[in-house]
């Protein structure tokens, strides 16, 4: 599997000279295999995903806060009638997933009720994903700690494993379950919205810290961790300072367009 970050920010996109190194788009991760494509969340970075034609594409949502859905209608690939796109979430069933997205992109909040113009999208229940990919890809879920709820995912294919843990307020009580969930992962994506120093003023906001990710990576049996969901006020200089002083050998900070390639075949 190849994992590519198209958006590594949380809350809101950012731009300017202070954000060139790590990028400014909100959450979007693309996972590709030989003939499959999975998109995790469609923040503003989704605009830059090149949607593959002539194969099923799955968009999988952790939850429906705006920084995880706002880019859905800005990728030209969703308007190509040759594309077959399935949308789902472990957070809720197909009907509720459709309701959430249609409401967000309705005429009340968006220039056009655009879902009525599209023939490429099909909403499915999470349990149907195996059949879509002819059971060549495995999925597991875990409920995370976030206002309104959020779900993490394990994705298995070709003997590799990617663990996606976006929008989660980490706690020591969670630790055993998360260690078990991420066991033997080739790549863990971790929510690093805050720092330890910032966390006391943001308890209940539903996010973890960069340092918590580093400590978790040291405890867990994982190969690599990429910390994402960078706070919009976190500049390149701030993030580079963490890389210079505080990261373990397992941990890196995700950048827009950074690519992680799995084990050699």
pLDDT tens per residue, range 163-207: 999 999 999 999 999 999 999 999 999 999 999 999 999 999 999
The pLDDT of residue 186 is 97
Helix (H, G, I), strand (E, B) or coil at 67: helix
β-strand partners of 37: 32, 57
What the block records as the tokens of 114 is 């655009």
Which residue range forms the structural domain that includes residue 202? 2-129+137-261
The pLDDT of residue 107 is 78
Residues of the chain predicted below pLDDT 50: 264-265
Find all residues with CB under 8 Å of 173, minimum gap 6, and list them: none
What is d(CA 237, CA 243) in angstroms, rounded to the nearest whole number? Answer: 10
Contact 10, 231 (CB under 8 A): yes
The pLDDT of residue 264 is 44
199: DSSP letter: G
Cα torsion at 177, 182, 184, 187 (round to 10°)?
-160
The total domain count for the chain is 1
What is d(CA 11, CA 227) in angstroms, rounded to the nearest whole number? Answer: 15
Question: CATH number, domain at 170?
Answer: 3.60.15.10
What is d(CA 160, CA 107) in angstroms, rounded to the nearest whole number? Answer: 42
Q: If you search the block for the tokens 């099909």, which residue do you land on?
A: 122
């Amino acid at each position: 599997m190849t994992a590519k970050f198209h958006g590594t920010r949380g809350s809101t996109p950012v731009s300017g000279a202070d954000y060139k190194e790590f990028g400014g788009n909100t959450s979007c991760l693309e996972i590709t295999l030989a003939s499959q494509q999975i998109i995790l969340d469609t923040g503003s970075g989704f605009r830059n995903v090149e949607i593959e034609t002539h194969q099923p594409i799955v968009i999988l949502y952790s939850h429906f806060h705006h920084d995880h859905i706002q880019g859905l209608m800005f990728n030209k690939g969703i308007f190509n009638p040759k594309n077959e796109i399935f949308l789902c979430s472990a957070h809720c069933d197909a009907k509720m997933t459709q309701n959430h997205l249609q409401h967000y992109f309705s005429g009340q909040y968006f220039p056009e009720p655009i879902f009525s113009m599209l023939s490429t999208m099909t909403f499915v229940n999470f349990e149907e994903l195996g059949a879509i990919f002819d059971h060549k890809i495995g999925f597991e879920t875990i409920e995370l700690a976030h206002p309104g709820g959020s779900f993490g995912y394990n994705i298995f294919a070709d003997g590799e494993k990617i663990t996606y843990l976006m929008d989660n307020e980490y706690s020591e009580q969670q630790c055993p379950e998360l260690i078990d969930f991420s066991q033997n992962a080739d790549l863990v994506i971790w929510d690093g919205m805050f720092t330890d120093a910032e966390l006391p003023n943001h308890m209940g906001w539903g996010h973890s810290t960069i340092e918590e990710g580093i400590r978790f990576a040291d405890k867990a049996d994982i190969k690599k961790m990429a910390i994402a969901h960078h706070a919009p006020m976190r500049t390149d200089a701030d993030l580079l300072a963490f890389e210079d002083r505080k990261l373990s050998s397992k941990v890196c900070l995700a950048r827009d367009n950074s690519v992680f390639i799995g084990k050699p075949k």
